[in-house]
Amino acid sequence: MAEQRNRESGWSLQASAIRDGVRLELSLPDLAGQPFTAAVILDRAEARAFARALLAAAGDAAERTFPHPEV
């Protein structure tokens, strides 16, 4: 099991190994005034595809965040 808590916003992401893949739980402390947890169960191929998509999105966001030097 792995868990990441964002101290600034209070959200958490937890990943747990299950028999045929992984269970992801995203918890938000306040969504429209109520706590909220979404759970997704992925098989191994889906989990790998999801991880690749998250990594690509993070890279895209980082590139847009930092200014590009003039050449």
pLDDT in tens, 22-63: 999 999 988 888 999 999 999 999 999 999 998 999 888 888
Its domain, for residue 54, covers 2-64
Q: Establish if 26 belongs to a structural domain.
A: yes
Would you place residue 9 in the very low, low, confident or very high pLDDT band (cuts 50, 70, 90)? Answer: low
Where are the extended beta strands (E) located within 1-71? 2-5, 12-18, 21-31, 34-43
Q: Establish if 17 belongs to a structural domain.
A: yes
Give dist(CA 25, CA 44) in Å, integer. Answer: 16
Quick one: pLDDT at residue 42? 97
Q: Which residues contact 66 (CB under 8 A, 6 or more apart)?
A: none
Q: Establish if 38 belongs to a structural domain.
A: yes
The count of structural domains within the chain is 1
